[in-house]
Structure 1
Amino acid sequence: MKVLYDHQSFTGMTYGGVSRYFFDLMRSFANRQDIEFELSLRLSNNEYLDQASFSRHIRYRSLSQVRNVNRVASVLNRIHSLRRIRAGAFDVFHPTYYHRYFLNALGSKPFVLTFHDAASERFGDIYPELGEGLYEIKKKLIERADVIISVSEFSKQEILHYFPVDPAKVSVVHLGTAFGTEQVNGTSLQASEPFPYVLYVGKRGFYKNFNGFFRAIQPVLHRHPDLHVICAGGGTFNSDEQAMFHNARLDKRVHYRPVTDAGLMSLYRHARAFVFPSLNEGFGIPVLEAFSGNCPVILSNRSSLPEVGADAAVYFDPEDDTAIADAVERVITDEALREDLIRKGTERLKNFSCDKTAQQTLDIYRTLC
């Protein structure tokens, strides 16, 4: 059996949860003899693919900052993907995002759609930037897909809530992570920060609720003058964020760090706690990353996060400032609780792996052949 993956999540995206999901899936399949796959990709600067033997794409880092270069790369990648789809040398097609460019070329070939979250449906009226018009595209793809993979039970219920679809068509396959399992330079994992800190990872805008989190923990930071906040990834601070830190008299204690996998692992391992205040997550890969890094986890009690974290986290209402502050203070000051969370996180992580995700996905592919 042969599976064809397309270019979408690897075009113009250096990092990102969706591209990481598909990379981990293909990396697991690359070590197996019972499945073949092809990634139809010509141009990419995706960091996960940098050392991948299964992709022979061309990198264009020196040109990536030139205006419209990524747009041109996307067009060329789409043309290449359409050629591979029309050639028909595959049994199952698995697009890596929600564009419907391939529908007319696919014919009767089966295809699997992975549904990550319903953020654009749930928050589209508040934040149109999340994907204006994406609902109709998703609806069309869901109608045509032979199987829909949902990354959590929560996301499955979101699909059933927002889209007209037979529940039997939706299969839940939890994500895994290989984060922390590869050999990394031991020196890079030594503490690089001279102060204690709580860690925030990823994008900060929209429903991610970073501003609400920062507002809530200001009293904690003022009570603990040695405590800092590190934001890993998600882009440098914008002018509004900088003003927010300054007005709180905390601009010297909130820091941005760009990340590699090794650098992020070091940040998890030495943090007092990882805090995830999001209002909506389809799954929440950073939770598994924190478990991998032996980092105590503090989570919003919304969406998929309790499904992933189970009893290995302390939870709070993400719209209750007092609840956020109490949860953070409790974890950073209680060493016995921190050790218990680390132990439970290690146990919880055993329920998730990239190979398990790959096997369950392969089982779905086989039902279509």
Structure 2
Amino acid sequence: MKVLYDHQSFTGMAYGGVTRYFYELMKSFARRNDIDFELSLKFSNNEYLDQSAFSRHFRFRRWAHLQQVNQVASALNRLYSVQRLKTNGFDVFHPTYYHKYFLNHLDGKPFVITFHDATSERYAKQYPEVGEHMTEVKKVLLPRADCIIAVSEYSKQEILRFFDVKPEKIKVIHLGSSFSHFKPARPFDPLPFSYLLYVGKRGLYKNFDGFFRAIQPVLQKYPDMHLVCAGGGAFSKQENELFHSARLGSRVHYRPITDTALFGLYQHATAFVFPSLNEGFGIPVLEAFSGGCPNVLSDRSSLPEVGADAAIYFDPENDESMAYAIERILSDSELRATLTRKGTERLKLFSCEKTAQQTFDVYKELTK
């Protein structure tokens, strides 16, 4: 059996949950002899693929900041994907995002689509940047897909809420994290202070502004506690002004991330805080479990499904609720130890290998 993956998510994303998902899926399949796959990709600056032997694409980091260069790379990648589709040398097609360019080139072959979240359906009016146009594309693709993989029960319910799709077409397959078996190539140099950890993008529905507003009195109460923001881009001028106006400029830090750096940050953090308003799954929860880091999570979307009783929760739109939960974790070492222990046990339910096997079973069923 051969599966064809396309270029879409890998064209413009250096990092991110969607590309990580497909990278881990292909990495798992590369170790097996009962499945073959191809990634139709010519141009990419994706950092995960730098670690792979299954993609022979060209990198253009020197020009990656130029929008026109990225547009040309995307157009060339799409032409290449169409070419690979037309060869008909595959059994199942699995697009890596929602563009519908491929629909006229499948020649009757089944296709699977993975649905991560309904952010564009929930928040496009409030945050147009998340892609209001995506809903119309999904309305075309989801009913036509032979199977829809939802990354959580929550995501499945989002599909049924926003789209006219038969429930039996949806298969829930939870994600895993490669951090559960991660062995750093070199030791991580711990930071010289105690800190709360925030990971990823900070804008829009990720709710960083609300989080920072809520924790200011907590940080004032605990003068030795810092905040570390990993990934998501360096602080903007506006963010730095916000931190300084709160008289916390010296205690809020940005760190770029590699896997080694991020894993080390989880290992040494007092707690990981995830204030997001909407997550289809929330891989950072598993990453924190892997690093033995207590989780303090938003009580929205999929996060309680993933964290279960191995985390404490807060209302992400209520400053007092958020501050109370964070202060609980800072003031109670026994609670932190309990959450770390429960997180280690909870992590056993999720793995990249389990995700790959269940996805393989979907492909196998469609090729009968």
TM-score (norm 2): 0.98
Displacement after TM superposition at 1:183 (Å): 2.9
The structure-2 alpha-carbon separation of the partners of 1:66 and 1:122, relative to structure 1 and needing over 3 Å to count, comes to closer
What SS is found at the alignment partner of 2:114? strand
Displacement after TM superposition at 1:109 (Å): 1.1
Tell me the residue number matched to 1:82.
82
Rounded to whole Å, the distance in 2 between the matches of 1:63 and 1:247 is 36
Displacement after TM superposition at 1:159 (Å): 0.4
Rounded to whole Å, the distance in 2 between the matches of 1:277 and 1:198 is 12
What SS is found at the alignment partner of 2:253? strand
Q: For residue 190 of structure 1, what is the amino acid of its counterpart?
A: D
Tell me the residue number matched to 2:218.
220
Tell me the residue number matched to 1:283.
281
Give CA deviations for 1:170-229 in whole Å, capped at 9, x if unaligned.
110000011252331342x231x1111100000111111111110001000001111111
Structure 1 residue 299 and structure 2 residue 297: aligned?
yes
Displacement after TM superposition at 1:67 (Å): 4.2
What SS is found at the alignment partner of 2:138? helix
Rounded to whole Å, the distance in 1 between the matches of 2:179 and 2:243 is 31
Rounded to whole Å, the distance in 1 between the matches of 2:210 and 2:67 is 34
Structure 1 residue 170 and structure 2 residue 153: aligned?
no
Rounded to whole Å, the distance in 1 between the matches of 2:88 and 2:274 is 43
Q: For residue 177 of structure 1, what is the amino acid of its counterpart?
A: S
Match of 1:361 among 356, 359, 362: 359
Match of 2:256 among 255, 258, 265: 258
Give CA deviations for 1:43-85 in whole Å, capped at 9, x if unaligned.
1111111121111111122222344111111111111000001
Tell me the residue number matched to 1:335.
333
Rounded to whole Å, the distance in 1 between the matches of 2:186 and 2:101 is 45
Give CA deviations for 1:274-316 in whole Å, capped at 9, x if unaligned.
0001111000000000001110110001100000000100111
Displacement after TM superposition at 1:139 (Å): 0.8
What SS is found at the alignment partner of 1:221? helix
Rounded to whole Å, the distance in 2 between the matches of 1:20 and 1:136 is 25
Rounded to whole Å, the distance in 1 between the matches of 2:124 and 2:64 is 29
What SS is found at the alignment partner of 2:55? coil
Identity of aligned residues (%): 65
Q: For residue 20 of structure 1, what is the amino acid of its counterpart?
A: R
Q: For residue 147 of structure 2, what is the amino acid of its counterpart?
A: V
Rounded to whole Å, the distance in 2 between the matches of 1:66 and 1:209 is 28
Rounded to whole Å, the distance in 2 between the matches of 1:3 and 1:185 is 32
- Within 5 Å, give how 1:18-33 maps onto structure 2: 18-33=18-33
Provide the aligned C-alpha RMSD in A: 1.0
Tell me the residue number matched to 1:195.
193
Is contact 2:180–2:351 with CA below 8 Å preserved after alignment? no
Tell me the residue number matched to 2:183.
183
Tell me the residue number matched to 2:154.
154
Is contact 2:206–2:278 with CA below 8 Å preserved after alignment? yes
Q: For residue 85 of structure 1, what is the amino acid of its counterpart?
A: L
Rounded to whole Å, the distance in 2 between the matches of 1:222 and 1:183 is 36
Rounded to whole Å, the distance in 2 between the matches of 1:251 and 1:121 is 36
Tell me the residue number matched to 1:113.
113
- Within 5 Å, give how 1:24-173 maps onto structure 2: 24-173=24-173
Q: For residue 25 of structure 1, what is the amino acid of its counterpart?
A: L
What SS is found at the alignment partner of 1:11? helix
Is contact 1:180–1:265 with CA below 8 Å preserved after alignment? no
Mind listing any 5+ residue stretches in structure 1 that lack a counterpart?
A: none
Q: For residue 324 of structure 2, what is the amino acid of its counterpart?
A: D
Q: Could you tell which deviates more after superposition, 165-174 or 330-339?
A: 330-339
Displacement after TM superposition at 1:11 (Å): 0.7
What SS is found at the alignment partner of 1:46? coil
Give CA deviations for 1:118-166 in whole Å, capped at 9, x if unaligned.
0000111111111021101011010210000000000000000000110
Is contact 1:232–1:256 with CA below 8 Å preserved after alignment? yes
TM-score (norm 1): 0.98
